[in-house]
Structure 1
Amino acid sequence: MTAPADRPEFSRTIDLRQITAAPVTLLADPAECAALAERFGLVALDRLEAVVTLVAEGDVVRASGRLQAAWTQPCAVSGDDLAQSADEALALRFVPEQDLPTTEAEIELTAEDCDDIPYRGSHFDLGEAVAQSLGLAIDPFACGPNAEAARQSAGILSEGAAGAFGALAGLKLGKD
């Protein structure tokens, strides 16, 4: 994965002063899908959509909704194209940057803190948060139907057949 440039591939900036009770729908266009596919190492991103409700609590904005996506990625074992999809709940909090801890001392995070996204000024990027949520939904070790055959042809025994460490026994170091 590559880091986003100055302007993320799927940027949807929200102005705090414009938040209403109406849900926000974000839909990636074909160029954005192609750029996100490249960012996340996918063969293709066919669809990315999110419907999000925003609730401002002072300077903190809670975002909740659903992310739906469909993509093709290479199988982690065989390299074959593998169709995947996600339909996941979103629960994020946008927090003013100055309200987040800045010390380098060890701090304990709660589950709620893990989804805090800092922002500056009166705008935050909901699209980039959705893109990052997609990145978390992608299983980098997804295997397709030909994965087991690819393992066998490489001489790697399955974990069930050889035990947790026995699968490694199929890999032999060549000593001539």
Structure 2
Amino acid sequence: MNKAPEFSRPYRLDAIGGEPRTVHIEANEVERAALAERFGLVSIATLNADAAIRREGQRVWAEGRLKGRAVQSCVATGDPIPARVDEPFSLRFDPEGETVEDEVELDESDLDVLSYEGGSIDLGEAVAQGFSLALDPFPRVADAEDRLRAAGVKSEEEAEEARIESSPFAALKALKGE
């Protein structure tokens, strides 16, 4: 059984017309806490979006801006790192399993295409996924390298050099006197 999305904001197709409809969605405290857990974040302070949604046949377009503030953990030290997302989005929702062959206003590379089942789209889940993807996947505090070095952790280059020096081929090369 599929679990309902933490930040679900469904819009029924029969309530979306051909003219753009402006909507504002915002995650509440419980939704933000559940999303933070799902995305492996320390916390999400805010998450919202303003969008214009419109329908053409069975295809739905959503264009707008998503904003959010979160706290991530440094991948090297575990220290908290504040993160801010403020970016535009362009989405197209197509019916699950159907290819709609209409003229496309935007280049395919300019928008994300999502599928939906039944008679509604879920703008909240789309915004949540967009927020997660906009965050730095490997956040690091500014002094992470220095702190790791002080703790005795080698850089990638140092580790590679040590690996090469300790390989059986390096030992053979030393025996040959090269």
| Same fold at TM > 0.5 | yes
Q: Do structure 1's residue 47 and structure 2's residue 46 form an aligned pair?
A: yes
Deviations 1:56-91 (A, max 9, x none): 111101111001010001011111000011101111
Q: Give the fraction of aligned pairs with identical amino acids, expressed as a percent.
A: 38
Give yes or no for contact 2:21–2:54 (8 Å, CA) kept in 1.
Answer: no
Q: How far did residue 169 of structure 1 move?
A: 4.2
| Structure 1: segments with no counterpart, 5+ residues | 102-109, 158-164
TM-score normalised by the chain length of structure 1:
0.78
Q: Do structure 1's residue 98 and structure 2's residue 89 form an aligned pair?
A: no
Larger mean CA deviation between 87-96 and 20-29 belongs to: 20-29
Aligned residues: 153
CA distance in 1, matches of 2:138, 2:87: 19
Residues 7-156 of structure 1: matches in 2 within 5 Å? 7-19=4-16, 21-100=20-99, 111=109, 115-153=112-150, 154-156=152-154
Change (3 A) 1:167 1:90: farther
Match of 2:97, SS state, is: helix
Q: Do structure 1's residue 168 and structure 2's residue 159 form an aligned pair?
A: yes
CA distance in 2, matches of 1:77, 1:9: 29
CA distance in 2, matches of 1:45, 1:8: 16
Change (3 A) 1:170 1:78: farther
TM-score normalised by the chain length of structure 2:
0.77
Question: For residue 162 of structure 1, what is the aligned residue in structure 2?
Answer: none
Larger mean CA deviation between 138-147 and 51-60 belongs to: 138-147
Q: How far did residue 100 of structure 1 move?
A: 4.0
CA distance in 1, matches of 2:158, 2:38: 32
Change (3 A) 1:171 1:28: farther
Change (3 A) 1:170 1:73: farther
Deviations 1:31-68 (A, max 9, x none): 00000000000000000011111121111011110010
What amino acid maps onto 2:157 in structure 1?
Answer: G
CA distance in 2, matches of 1:34, 1:49: 14
| Structure 2: segments with no counterpart, 5+ residues | 101-107, 167-178
Change (3 A) 1:125 1:169: same
4+ long deviations beyond 4 Å? 169-172
CA distance in 2, matches of 1:41, 1:53: 30
